[in-house]
């Protein structure tokens, strides 16, 4: 039996008996069967809706079935056309099949099974044609969409290429040219200036204390500051000038094609004034200043690279002079930079060559007048320069990171002298060692300090060292500092805050960091006892320290009046030239064994 696929069948015959017979037969297979008794009626039925199979008699009133089937092919190309014909019309039916007007023909009288099978085949043919048409349409639609996507992809790739090229040459935060791109633009500007015999002024600018602002607020606030800085700098320039972000908080400006020699100074002042205006960040006013260096082509340098170096050197000179200013490059700066480079080179081997020394400045108990402690101070004895001032080499140790191994050497050396002097000095005598902010950033600091302590024969219960930290050193990373200082306390180290009153001076951190002592900065002591404001500050620090159970030490005592005044206020300990200068170990021990200088004016 033939497995039928139901479909819409249109039967066209003017003989109602034939029509009824065909309807009954085809409906047995589930087909929807429509009928028409004329060619016109058949055409109307074709126009009204889809027809899978058109089954038409060859002989029709007024026209033959072949003509109808040909018009049906035009109206419904997908409709499969079958002709019913008698033997007398067989030749015409065959011709119609050959020309494609008819799919097949069925001879009258028909065999029911044969007719049903032929209709089923026609339905399959119809469905195959429709499916093929659907697939072709889908393929064409997909091809069209693919072409659209290809066009969109090409556009996206072109945009991406432009974006990548822009990103490669520009700072993503400020969208200014980056260092590489600015260098290329500057080189082009110098070539043009050389041909035109015109000067080019290069201004290199660095924000003062930007790191502190970044850490005190947030990185998002820091980004906002940098974007605002870029906008303010750009607003101070002419359209022909160049500007770029060439470092973390460093910007560069090139003034091209100018005739007025005072223009660089005017622009520098304009930029500094613009940046000094308060900036609203995260709901609060932020005040910034900048240091700016100026180099001029061709007087100071003939290449972009050298001009950047000269202007950068002038900028650092302005920063060292206090910031919020600008400086022109000079050859003297170059000489100082060369000296600094030579010092840095010599410093890198100083530890291995054994050139560092410890000097000790005694601390006196203002109640008993006896020396009870000493601060270990680092000195560098250069084979050619002799003793180099700490102000010249300690900042270099910090910048280069050499302070970490040198700092460990200081702790070890202090332990060595504490062990050597143990029998010569009173019980409980302590040696104070300064900790660098760099050391406080290292998680292994307590472990290394503990190893050094143990190697010298000391323990947490018998630890002669006091570690001095600065306010700025711990407040940059308070969580880490609190954790590390707690571990150092567990190892028996006493903790003191140095230069108290010059930084954050926060009650919160005095409690949080489990300190033992604080040291009044020498700037508050220098004009005592006559300076009323400093005297009030010192009284407040003493009251605060003692209320928190901390020992208070005054630095920079240079007169007997200062010593007497501080003793009368209840200050615990003091150090300074009035009592003793920093001394090498062989001179320090005899001094430490004798009574201190009287605290009166005598």
Separation between Cα atoms, residue 66 and residue 56, nearest integer Å: 9
- Share above pLDDT 70 across residues of the chain, in percent, rounded to a whole number: 91
pLDDT of 323 reads: 87
Over residues 366-380, the mean pLDDT reads 92
User: 228-255, pLDDT tens digit by residue?
Assistant: 999 999 999 999 999 999 998 999 999 9
Which three-class secondary structure state does DSSP give residue 467? strand
User: 96-135, pLDDT tens digit by residue?
Assistant: 666 556 788 788 888 999 999 999 998 988 898 888 988 9
Q: Is residue 352 pLDDT above 80, yes or no?
A: yes
pLDDT of 408 reads: 93
pLDDT of 205 reads: 95
* Tokens at 599, concatenated: 């605290």
pLDDT of 602 reads: 38
User: 496-510, pLDDT tens digit by residue?
Assistant: 988 776 655 556 666
pLDDT of 100 reads: 58
Q: Is residue 601 pLDDT above 50, yes or no?
A: no
Question: What is the CB-side half-sphere exposure of residue 109 using CA atoms within 13 A?
Answer: 3
In order of their start, the domains of the chain are 8-134 (3.40.50.2300), 179-340 (3.30.70.270), 361-593 (3.20.20.450)
Over residues 356-375, the mean pLDDT reads 93
Tell me which residue has tokens 């110098």: 190
User: 419-471, pLDDT tens digit by residue?
Assistant: 999 888 988 899 999 998 888 878 889 999 999 999 999 998 999 999 998 87
Over residues 53-62, the mean pLDDT reads 78
pLDDT of 502 reads: 62
- CA angle 287/288/293 to nearest 5° reads 160
Question: At 212, is the pLDDT very low, low, confident or very high (cuts 50, 70, 90)?
Answer: confident
Whole-structure pTM value: 0.55
User: 261-284, pLDDT tens digit by residue?
Assistant: 888 889 999 999 999 888 888 777
Separation between Cα atoms, residue 404 and residue 273, nearest integer Å: 39
- CA angle 574/580/584 to nearest 5° reads 120
**In 170-296, where does DSSP find H-type helix?**
179-196, 210-216, 219-235, 263-276
Phi then psi for residue 290, to 5 deg, are -145, 160
The DSSP symbol for 424 reads T
In contact, 308 and 185? CB cutoff 8 Å? no
pLDDT of 321 reads: 81
């Amino acid at each position: 039996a033939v497995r039928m696929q139901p479909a819409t069948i249109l039967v066209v015959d003017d003989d109602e008996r034939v029509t009824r017979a065909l309807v009954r037969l085809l409906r047995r297979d589930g087909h929807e069967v429509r009928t028409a008794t004329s060619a016109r009626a058949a055409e109307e039925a074709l126009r009204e809706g889809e027809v899978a199979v058109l089954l038409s008699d060859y002989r029709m009133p007024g026209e033959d079935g072949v003509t109808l089937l040909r018009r049906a092919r035009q109206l419904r190309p997908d409709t499969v056309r079958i002709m019913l014909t008698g033997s007398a019309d067989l030749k015409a039916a065959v011709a119609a099949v050959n020309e494609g007007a008819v799919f097949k023909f069925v001879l009258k009288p028909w065999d029911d099974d044969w007719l049903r099978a032929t209709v089923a085949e026609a339905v399959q043919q119809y469905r195959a044609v429709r499916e093929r048409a659907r697939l072709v349409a889908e393929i064409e639609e997909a091809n069209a969409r693919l072409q659209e996507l290809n066009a969109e992809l090409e556009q996206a790739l072109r945009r991406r290429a432009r974006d990548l090229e822009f990103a490669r040459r520009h700072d993503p935060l400020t969208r200014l040219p980056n260092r590489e791109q600015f260098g290329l633009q500057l080189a082009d500007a110098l070539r043009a200036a050389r041909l035109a015999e015109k000067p080019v002024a290069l201004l290199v600018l660095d924000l003062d204390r930007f790191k502190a602002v970044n850490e005190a607020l947030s990185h998002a606030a820091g980004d906002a500051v940098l974007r605002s800085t870029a906008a303010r700098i750009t607003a101070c320039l002419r359209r022909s000038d160049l500007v770029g972000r060439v470092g973390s908080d460093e910007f560069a400006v090139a003034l091209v094609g100018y005739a007025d020699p005072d223009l660089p100074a005017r622009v520098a002042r304009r930029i500094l004034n613009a940046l000094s205006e308060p900036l609203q960040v995260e709901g609060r006013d932020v005040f910034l200043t900048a240091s700016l260096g100026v180099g001029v082509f061709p007087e100071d340098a003939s290449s972009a690279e050298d001009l950047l170096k000269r202007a950068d050197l002038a900028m650092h000179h302005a920063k060292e002079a206090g910031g919020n200013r600008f400086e022109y490059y000079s050859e003297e700066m170059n000489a100082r930079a060369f000296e600094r480079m030579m010092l840095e080179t010599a410093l890198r081997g100083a530890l291995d060559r054994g050139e560092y020394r410890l000097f000790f400045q005694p601390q006196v108990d203002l109640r008993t007048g006896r020396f009870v402690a000493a601060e270990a101070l680092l000195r560098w004895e250069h084979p050619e320069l002799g003793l180099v001032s700490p102000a010249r080499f300690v900042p270099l140790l910090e910048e280069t990171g050499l302070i970490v191994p040198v700092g460990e050497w200081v702790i070890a050396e202090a332990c060595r002298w504490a062990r050597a002097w143990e029998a010569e000095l009173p019980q409980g005598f302590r040696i104070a060692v300064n900790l660098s902010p760099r050391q406080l950033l290292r998680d292994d600091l307590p472990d290394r300090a503990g190893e050094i302590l143990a190697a010298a024969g000391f323990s947490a219960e018998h630890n002669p060292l006091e570690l001095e930290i600065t306010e700025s050193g711990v407040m940059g990373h308070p969580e880490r500092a609190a954790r590390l200082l707690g571990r150092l306390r567990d190892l028996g180290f006493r903790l003191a805050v140095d230069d108290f009153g010059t930084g954050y001076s926060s009650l919160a951190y005095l409690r949080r960091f489990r300190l033992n002592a604080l040291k009044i900065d020498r700037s508050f002591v220098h004009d005592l006892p006559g300076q009323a404001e400093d005297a009030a500050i010192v009284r407040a620090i003493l009251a605060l320290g003692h209320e928190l159970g901390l020992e208070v030490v005054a630095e920079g005592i240079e007169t007997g009046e200062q010593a007497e005044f501080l003793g009368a206020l209840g200050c615990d300990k003091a150090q300074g030239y009035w009592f003793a200068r920093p001394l090498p170990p062989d001179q320090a021990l005899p001094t430490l064994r004798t009574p201190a200088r009287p605290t009166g004016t005598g």
